[in-house]
Amino acid sequence: MTATVPAAPDVARGDRPGMRGLPALVGSEFRLFLRDPGTVFFSLVFPAVLVVGVGLALPGMRDPFTDAGPAWDGLTPIAAFLPVVLATAIAAPALSTMPTFVAGYRERGVLRRLSTTPMRPQGVLLAQVAVNVAAFVVAAALGVAAGALAFEIVAPRQVGLLLLALVLGAASTFGVGLVIAALAPKGSTAGGIGMLVYFPMLFFAGLWTPGPVMPDAVAATGRFTPLGAAGQAMEEAWFGTGVPAFQLVVMAVWVLVLYPVAAKVFRWS
């Protein structure tokens, strides 16, 4: 008597079902995310703490501008700081949490074991993006809510444009994190590279020089970076009446370039 064993997919031949295990992988990654208190704090709570801390601790943050130009006169610095809070909500999971998790899996051999399954590199990266985008949405909502409850802020003038800038800013910044995650051999390496990118990104987004106090040279350079372009586009959507077409195009180009690069250079081990 002979037993017939179903043939397994020929992975070497490229017969890989692909994304069938993606929902289960996303659920697993979400549970792991919630188990790390430090990650939960910096990814979800830090933007809200930042806006309240800056508004209460720094002098003059609740005094209206008087000579900053027609678009800013009457606004308070803490109100102008809200686009920066949204940029911070993007940067923490995109440049720190996600690359560290993926590279940590590579270091511990988890990715190598996943490579023997039908899951493709795109599935691993998409699972991390899904979890961290959800974290970013929660962090952005908490940051804006904290600012609205603690201080007097104005509503965005162009809500649709603000949402578009937020989505493109998140997509382009996560693209940077994906490239780091695809290449870094260790979690510590990914964390170090992420921090080297994190602070310059926030600088160009206006963390230290928000809105009307940003020097022209910094603003001109920042609009070519994913987070700097996002910050400027969100500022225009929140306080202005124009359309920041250049910044929107810059973010779209970053998305079109970085995601294929991340999938192409991804290493299982």
In the chain, what are the domain boundaries? 20-265
Task: Please give the pLDDT value at position 10.
Answer: 40
The pair of structure tokens assigned to 68 is 């900053």
The pair of structure tokens assigned to 69 is 């130009």
Instruction: Answer whether residue 229 shows pLDDT above 50.
Output: yes
Instruction: Answer whether residue 111 shows pLDDT above 70.
Output: yes
Among 173, 171, 238, smallest CA distance to 204 is for 173
Other Cβ atoms less than 10 A from the Cβ of 40: the count is 16
CA 241 distance to own-chain centroid: 26
pLDDT (tens digit, 9 = 90+) per residue, 168-187? 999 999 999 999 999 999 99
What is the rounded distance in angstroms from the CA atom of residue 219 to the CA atom of residue 231? 10
Q: Quick one: pLDDT band at residue 42, thresholds 50, 70, 90?
A: confident
pLDDT (tens digit, 9 = 90+) per residue, 184-213? 999 999 999 999 999 999 999 988 887 777
Q: Are 99 and 91 in contact (CB under 8 A)?
A: no
Q: Which residue has the higher pLDDT, 10 or 251?
A: 251
Task: Please give the pLDDT value at position 9.
Answer: 40
Instruction: Answer whether residue 153 shows pLDDT above 90.
Output: no
Q: Which residue has the higher pLDDT, 238 or 75?
A: 238
Other Cβ atoms less than 10 A from the Cβ of 252: the count is 14
Instruction: Answer whether residue 28 shows pLDDT above 60.
Output: yes
Instruction: Answer whether residue 151 shows pLDDT above 70.
Output: yes
Q: Quick one: pLDDT band at residue 119, thresholds 50, 70, 90?
A: low
Average pLDDT of 27-31?
Answer: 84
Task: Please give the pLDDT value at position 179.
Answer: 94
Residue percentage of the chain with pLDDT more than 90: 37
Q: Quick one: pLDDT band at residue 70, thresholds 50, 70, 90?
A: low
What is the rounded distance in angstroms from the CA atom of residue 58 to the CA atom of residue 89? 21
CA angle 256, 44, 209 (to 5 degrees): 70
What is the rounded distance in angstroms from the CA atom of residue 175 to the CA atom of residue 153? 31
Q: For the chain, state the CA radius of gyration.
A: 21
What is the rounded distance in angstroms from the CA atom of residue 223 to the CA atom of residue 244? 10
- Distance, first Cα to last Cα, the chain: 42
What is the rounded distance in angstroms from the CA atom of residue 229 to the CA atom of residue 241? 17
Instruction: Answer whether residue 67 shows pLDDT above 80.
Output: no
Handedness of CA 44, 50, 51, 57 (dihedral sign): positive
| Burial call 12-36: b when 16+ CB within 10 Å, e when fewer | eeeebeeeebbeebbeebeeebeee
